[in-house]
Amino acid sequence: MTELWDGFTKAIELIVSLDPEVMQIAGRSLAFAATSCVIAALISLPLGSIIHFNNFFGKRLLINVIQTLYSVPTVAVGLFVYVLLSRSGPLGGLGFLFSPPAIIIGQVLLVIPIITGLTITALSGVDRTVTDTAISLGASRFQAATLLTREARFAILAGLIMGFGRVISEVGLSLMVGGNISGFTRTLTTAISLETSKGELELALALGIILIAIALVVNITLNRLQQR
Amino acid sequence: MSNAQPIIKTTDLGQRLNGRDVLRNINLRIDRGEVFALIGPTGSGKTTLLRLLDLIDSPSQGKVYFDGTDVTESVRQRLETRRRMAFVLQKPVVFNTSVYENIAYGLKWRGMSRDNIRSRLDEVLEMVDLADFRKRNARMLSGGEVQRVAIARAIATEPEVLLLDEPTANLDPVSTAKIEELITNIIQRYHTTIVMATHDMSQGQRLADRVGMLLDGEILQTGDWREVFNTPQSREMANFVGVENIIDGVVQSSENNVVTIGTDDSVIEAVSDCAAGEQVHACIRSEEVTLALSRHSTSARNTFSGEIARIITTGPVARVEIDCGFRLVALVTKRSVEEMALETGKQVYASFKATAVHVIRQD
Ligand SMILES: Nc1ncnc2c1ncn2[C@@H]1O[C@H](COP(=O)(O)OP(=O)(O)OP(=O)(O)O)[C@@H](O)[C@H]1O
Ligand SMILES: [Mg+2]
């Protein structure tokens, strides 16, 4: 118990003194997660809109599949990306394995279903009358879709933040395709698992507290948005 | 007027939803500048018809002509035509932005410049009395205010046809009066053609030049309000316009447009061009039935004696139900109830003029 307490106070010290290594790892984690989410959003928002605004055979099934993929294990995505990027894999020539692009590719794949699915949910959550009103006021299909997306903005943003929460806290994928290389691909989660196994509890705890703090901020933001 | 091209015309319009014919054989013509009220009870298809007229939905049958052109099919033409109309939905919703932006949307979508939008909106906001609300988020408004935003949003586009779906449903009397006044102002200022749905007969009377009675997906009658009100053409219509006494019978004799109608065990005289032998409904408004305590005090052709079955008083008037072989309802003042000491079980003479009977042929 005292060990934990000592670790905790040391961890606070590391954070308050802005320890360079801790800050670097935290910054890298944030950068990876943010980049992944932006790229995923650029793909998922249009994709979600297209699925929502069009009627086609198998739409219901597709949405079910997307929703199932919300909880796909990170190691499964990791394995897939690993195979894809490994030297003998189809994209092996890019030499991305064990580098930041590999982590980002994996994280993008990981959150595309979440952001796409939640975009669809957000758009269908808007009162049908909004579309009718827009159409009746002379909106073209595209103009009506734009308005609807605007009306759903808070719910869509909530989806983005959920996605962010998922990538910042995942460990399996970053470890498998990033390799936890110090100063290069080491993130909060991979560092925590390494330091813990080495017995460096105070460093692990400091990183854990930062991670929890980030998760807290994400959750508070999410709650605020959902109250809109 | 009726020689000119109607702004909207429908031919055999029908709508089938979920395997049910919600609308059938709608043949309407709305003239430019006219105020037309679609009146019908809930579920009769008013909203469904307005959605077809505004080209939001496509009909399962028939055609819609706008200004002489068939606009039923082409997607582009439907959008262009829709932009010449505006539709205030039954349950209006506002977009999650300011009142000003809400009203500006229709103009933005038509590609109008910011400056032109501003000057148009100044006028509209003032007209709907929302000038002080322009910066407020529209989600924060009351029901009556939302309705005014919805109307403002519609008229901002200066539509040739304004479609209003129950514009005063769920509003209190004060807000209702305000909306009706606003509609009157729009009519006077822009001479907009208006098609409005309502289940309120009296609102149709107050605002419309012409009414169409919609029942169970069919337009049963169109015409001047007075005509529809006083001479309904079917039993259902008579019921809907509030005729309380509808007595079935057979015409026994007919002479100079005066007919005698035999019911179960009485005879009613009426003015009608029906021939002997025809099955008819005799309609008598309850306010046309007068009550007396002796047979001699009335000159009306139809006098029946009977026993009072029930008296229901609401405010200054009383509904008196008399059992005189058939059931007859009379609407009298509360004062006459007191003066004649009317009460349940009392014998009275109920009478009405032959001209007060409206005769409908049974189908
Ligand atoms: N999308 C739909 N699918 C199936 N049935 C529908 C649909 N929309 C309306 N209906 C049915 O069509 C009928 C007419 O509905 P409509 O909304 O046009 O009536 P209304 O005259 O506007 O009634 P109200 O006065 O209550 O607004 C109703 O019986 C309704 O249940
Ligand atoms: Mg309706």
What pLDDT was estimated at residue B169?
87
In a domain, A61, yes or no: yes
What Å distances lie between residue B248 and A58, A162, B252, CA to CA? 57, 70, 13
Query: Using an 8 Å Cβ cutoff, are B290 and B306 in contact?
Result: no
What pLDDT was estimated at residue B205?
86
Residues 6+ away with beta carbon under 8 Å from B156: B103, B104, B106, B107, B120, B121, B124
A56, burial (CB in 10 Å: exposed 0-12, middle 13-18, buried 19+): exposed
Specify the DSSP element, H or E, that contains B305. Answer: strand B302-314
Provide the 10 A C-beta neighbour count for residue B169.
16
Q: Is B47 in the pocket of ligand 1 (CB under 6 A)?
A: yes
Q: For residues A109 and A83, what is the distance between their CA atoms, to the nearest angstrom? A: 14
Q: Distance between terminal CA atoms of chain A?
A: 43
Strands B317-324 and B326-333: antiparallel
What pLDDT was estimated at residue B295?
81
DSSP B176-241: HHHHHHHHHHHHHHH--EEEEEES-HHHHHHH-SEEEEEETTEEEEEE-HHHHHHS-SSHHHHHHT
Higher-scoring residue by pLDDT: A1, A67: A67
User: Nearest Cα to A188, choosing from A16, A4, A31?
Assistant: A31
In a domain, A80, yes or no: yes
Mean pLDDT by 10 residues, chain B (363 residues): 80 95 96 95 94 96 95 92 96 94 96 95 93 93 92 95 93 90 93 93 89 92 88 87 92 92 90 93 94 80 92 92 92 92 93 93 87
User: Nearest Cα to A81, choosing from A73, A211, A66?
Assistant: A73
Q: For residues A86 and A97, what is the distance between their CA atoms, to the nearest angstrom? A: 6
What pLDDT was estimated at residue B3?
60
- Residue B200 in tokens: 């309120």
Number of structural domains in chain A: 1
Residues 6+ away with beta carbon under 8 Å from A124: A52
CB contact under 8 A, B109 and A130: no
Provide the 10 A C-beta neighbour count for residue B6.
19
In the predicted structure, residue A4 carries a pLDDT above the cut 80: no
In a domain, A218, yes or no: yes
Query: Using an 8 Å Cβ cutoff, are B23 and B45 in contact?
Result: yes
Q: Is B22 in the pocket of ligand 1 (CB under 6 A)?
A: yes
- Residue A65 in tokens: 């599949």
Residues 6+ away with beta carbon under 8 Å from A133: B89, B92, B93, B95, B150
What pLDDT was estimated at residue B242?
86
CB contact under 8 A, B56 and A129: no
In a domain, A9, yes or no: yes
Question: Residue A104 — very low, low, confident or very high, per pLDDT cuts 50/70/90?
Answer: very high
Q: For residues B122 and B156, what is the distance between their CA atoms, to the nearest angstrom? A: 10
CB under 5 Å of ion ligand 2: residues: B 46-47, 90
- Residue B69 in tokens: 């052109």
In the predicted structure, residue A109 carries a pLDDT above the cut 70: yes
Rg of chain B taking only CA atoms, in angstroms: 25
User: Nearest Cα to A120, choosing from A39, A57, A65, A38?
Assistant: A65
A55, burial (CB in 10 Å: exposed 0-12, middle 13-18, buried 19+): exposed
User: Nearest Cα to A37, choosing from A110, A100, A120?
Assistant: A110
Q: What is the CATH number of the domain that holds A116?
A: 1.10.3720.10
In the predicted structure, residue A19 carries a pLDDT above the cut 70: yes
In a domain, A115, yes or no: yes
In a domain, A6, yes or no: yes
The pLDDT tens digits for A182-192 are 999 999 999 99
Supply the residue whose CA is at minimum distance from atom 6 of ligand 1.
B17
- Residue A48 in tokens: 């979600």
Supply the residue whose CA is at minimum distance from atom 7 of ligand 1.
B17
Q: For residues B91 and B102, what is the distance between their CA atoms, to the nearest angstrom? A: 16
What pLDDT was estimated at residue B226?
85
Q: For residues B165 and B173, what is the distance between their CA atoms, to the nearest angstrom? A: 18
What Å distances lie between residue B127 and B34, B131, B148, B149, B168, CA to CA? 21, 8, 10, 11, 18
Q: For residues B185 and B296, what is the distance between their CA atoms, to the nearest angstrom? A: 52
Q: For residues B281 and B258, what is the distance between their CA atoms, to the nearest angstrom? A: 15
ipTM score for this prediction: 0.79
Cβ-based contacts of B106 with chain A (< 8 Å):
137-138
Q: For residues B184 and B198, what is the distance between their CA atoms, to the nearest angstrom? A: 16
Helix, strand, coil shares of chain B as percentages rounded to 5? 30, 35, 35
Ligand nearest to the CA of B49: 1
pTM of the entire structure?
Answer: 0.81
Give the nearest ligand 1 atom to B41 CA.
Answer: 25
DSSP B268-295: EEEE--PPTT-EEEEEE-GGG-EEESSG
In a domain, A161, yes or no: yes
Give the nearest ligand 1 atom to B217 CA.
Answer: 14
Q: For residues A130 and A146, what is the distance between their CA atoms, to the nearest angstrom? A: 12
Identify the domain containing residue A111 by its residue range: 2-14+21-127+153-227
Q: How many CA atoms lie within 13 A of B222 on its CB side?
A: 15
In a domain, A40, yes or no: yes
Give B138 Cα–ligand 2 centroid separation in angstroms: 23
Q: Is B203 in the pocket of ligand 1 (CB under 6 A)?
A: no
Residue A174 per-residue DSSP state:
I
- Residue B54 in tokens: 């505004």
Specify the DSSP element, H or E, that contains B149. Answer: helix B143-155
Helix axes of A20-53 and A153-169: crossing angle, nearest 10 degrees: 140
Q: Distance between terminal CA atoms of chain B?
A: 33
Q: For residues B53 and B66, what is the distance between their CA atoms, to the nearest angstrom? A: 9
Q: Which of B53, B74, B96 to mutate to test the interface with A (most CBs of A within 10 A)?
A: B96
Give the nearest ligand 1 atom to B50 CA.
Answer: 18
